[in-house]
Amino acid sequence: MVKKLPLSGKILYAASSAGWAMIDRVVITWLFFYYVTATDSRGVLMQSAVFGSIMVFGRIVDAIADPLIALWSDNFRGRLGRRMPFLLAGGFLYVLVFIALFYPPVAAESKWNVLYLLLMMGTYFFLFTVYVCPYLALMPELAQTKNDRVDLATLKAGFTLLGVAVALVGSGILIGMFGFKGMVWGLGLTGLVFMYLPTLIKEKDYARAEPASLGLIEAVTTTFKNRAFRIFLAGNVTFWFGFNIITLGLPFYVTVLLGLEKEQTSLFFAATFGVAVLMFPLINFLAKRVGLKIISVTALFLFAAIFPWFYLLGQPVLGLSPVNFAFLIMALTGIPLSSLFVVPDAMVSSITDLEETLSGQRREAMYFGTQGLILKIAMGLSTFITGMLLQFFGSTAADSLGVQLTGVIAAVFCLVGGFIFLHYPEKEVMAYSAEKAAGF
């Protein structure tokens, strides 16, 4: 018998997501700007196209690393368990490389900066997976019941948004006070503290840490034999495919359709995520009462109903000014988005229980790793489709059809995802999860 994770343990586990979400958001928000713009003390470090190519390389490393790290973690034998050694080693190295990203060898455009960033970016994304994949795999091990998993997923979602908020708001303030390197050190060390909080949990007290033994090919193919996982993955990937189109389009909605400055984009993000945070308690309550499936289906159909209205951004609608209408639509988007921050992690956690009927082993990390691999491929494809829309149908104030169509295209993907989730066998999954929880 293993112990039940107390509330303090749930908070320690969930708090980590604030750390790595904060650091990753700094990279996404500021690294490109840092390398392709000049300052009073140095010139441009590299051209935009070169940086973009390096970022693609990093994402490829990230995607490939997912199933490899998942296998390593699932099969790992250690005194501290299967996951904690990765968090202990990966957290420090991840933050170290994050800081190193902002220390290029030459203070001007140089091939050495290109080679340096190529190496550091590949290492950064690899270490991100080293930490995050085993971290996610801990969730179904630490929380044995549906309610506990929903609570853990809700806390994790809250801390994730906290980390993103600190990065978006605090990074600019710290840059103004201490410069880029001061900001990087400050948020890097803060993130490291959060990332080490889960290591205070004694993994073997709360999780069955029996190592798996499957090889890579067998592990991946066995994972896809899980029907519930295949349906979940198809629905979840379809959603993120559509939502990524909206995320990529937001700066264009603000600048092209609304005619505002790009700096005001963050205000619309705040409207969406602010509403999402407020909805977390309700989603937590409903997920425990009506189930994860109906929450997912409802959320995707709501997205499909809201996203087409993006076509009308920039116009006065329903008696509202263009800006107020845009804020209304972004705020409404936060309602279904809240469930997509909470439900998928809780759903995968329950799905992993079915693995024991397929291989007789516990292989939580491979499920999260496989999901990560497929999601990253889908995100890349959705980025490509968004680029094609903007290029061929227009992305300027005078020719904005490409920007307007993004909402319609995203709605189609979410609608498809909703119909896919209608086939999710929740009763089967939850019945087996309840049976396993009763044995702990």
User: For 369-414, how does the pLDDT look when each residue is reduced to its tens digit (9 = 90+)?
Assistant: 898 888 888 887 887 888 888 888 988 888 899 989 999 999 999 9
> Domain range holding 389?
219-438
Report pLDDT for 257. 92
376, part of any domain: yes
Report pLDDT for 212. 79
**Same domain, yes or no, for 244 and 159?**
no
As a whole number, the mean pLDDT across the chain is 88
pLDDT tens, position by position, 263-279: 677 788 888 888 998 99
Q: What is the mean pLDDT of residues 292-312?
A: 94
**Same domain, yes or no, for 194 and 46?**
yes
Residues near 293 by Cβ (< 8 Å), separated by ≥ 6? 421, 424, 426
**Same domain, yes or no, for 283 and 417?**
yes
Report pLDDT for 179. 85
**Same domain, yes or no, for 141 and 238?**
no
**Same domain, yes or no, for 379 and 410?**
yes
The region that residue 81 occupies, defined by phi over 0 for left and psi between -120 and 50 for alpha, beta otherwise, is left
Question: Among 295, 337, 239, which Cα is nearest to 426's?
Answer: 295
295, part of any domain: yes
pLDDT confidence of 86, banded at 50, 70, 90? very high
Q: What angle do CA 340, 345, 348 make, to 5 degrees?
A: 120
**Same domain, yes or no, for 338 and 433?**
yes
Q: Is 240 exposed, middle or buried (0-12, 13-18, 19+ CB in 10 A)?
A: buried
Residues near 34 by Cβ (< 8 Å), separated by ≥ 6? 45, 102, 180
pLDDT confidence of 134, banded at 50, 70, 90? very high
**Same domain, yes or no, for 363 and 254?**
yes
Report pLDDT for 432. 65
For tokens 């490291």, the residue is 192
Q: For residues 375 and 246, give the distance between their C-alpha atoms in angstroms, rounded to a whole number.
A: 16
417, part of any domain: yes
**Same domain, yes or no, for 312 and 341?**
yes
Report pLDDT for 176. 83
Q: What is the mean pLDDT of residues 349-369?
A: 83
Q: What is the mean pLDDT of residues 336-355?
A: 87
How many H-runs (helices) and E-runs (strands) does the chain carry?
17, 0
Question: pLDDT: is 26 or 189 the higher one?
Answer: 189
Question: Among 348, 70, 369, 357, which Cα is nearest to 225's?
Answer: 357
pLDDT confidence of 1, banded at 50, 70, 90? low
Among 72-76, 97-101, 206-210, 305-309, the range scoring the smallest mean pLDDT is 206-210
The answer on pLDDT for 100 being more than 70 is yes
208, part of any domain: no
pLDDT confidence of 197, banded at 50, 70, 90? very high
The region that residue 27 occupies, defined by phi over 0 for left and psi between -120 and 50 for alpha, beta otherwise, is alpha
Question: Among 296, 289, 300, 283, which Cα is nearest to 338's?
Answer: 283
Final residue belonging to a domain, choices 140, 169, 198: 198
Q: What is the mean pLDDT of residues 150-165?
A: 90
Question: Among 308, 261, 259, which Cα is nearest to 415's?
Answer: 308
pLDDT confidence of 439, banded at 50, 70, 90? low
What are the structure tokens assigned to 336, written together?
């279904």
Q: What is the mean pLDDT of residues 134-148?
A: 88
335, part of any domain: yes
Report pLDDT for 387. 81
Report pLDDT for 210. 76
Question: pLDDT: is 209 or 431 the higher one?
Answer: 431
Q: What is the mean pLDDT of residues 123-146?
A: 91
The answer on pLDDT for 33 being more than 60 is yes
**Same domain, yes or no, for 169 and 226?**
no
214, part of any domain: no
For tokens 């929450």, the residue is 295
**Same domain, yes or no, for 235 and 366?**
yes
Report pLDDT for 433. 60
**Same domain, yes or no, for 257 and 184?**
no
Q: Which CATH number covers residue 187?
A: 1.20.1250.20
Report pLDDT for 394. 86
Report pLDDT for 190. 96
The answer on pLDDT for 440 being more than 60 is no
160, part of any domain: yes
Mapped onto helix, strand or coil, the DSSP state of residue 317 is: strand
> How many residues appear in the chain?
440
Report pLDDT for 118. 93
Report pLDDT for 436. 59
What are the structure tokens assigned to 314, written together?
């920039």
Structurally, the chain folds into a number of domains equal to 2
Report pLDDT for 264. 78
Among 244-253, 307-316, 404-413, the range scoring the smallest mean pLDDT is 244-253
The pTM (predicted TM-score) of the whole model is 0.84
Q: What is the mean pLDDT of residues 106-122?
A: 91
Report pLDDT for 280. 92
Final residue belonging to a domain, choices 168, 198, 228: 198
399, part of any domain: yes
**Same domain, yes or no, for 300 and 385?**
yes
Instruction: State the amino acid at position 366 in one-letter form.
Output: M
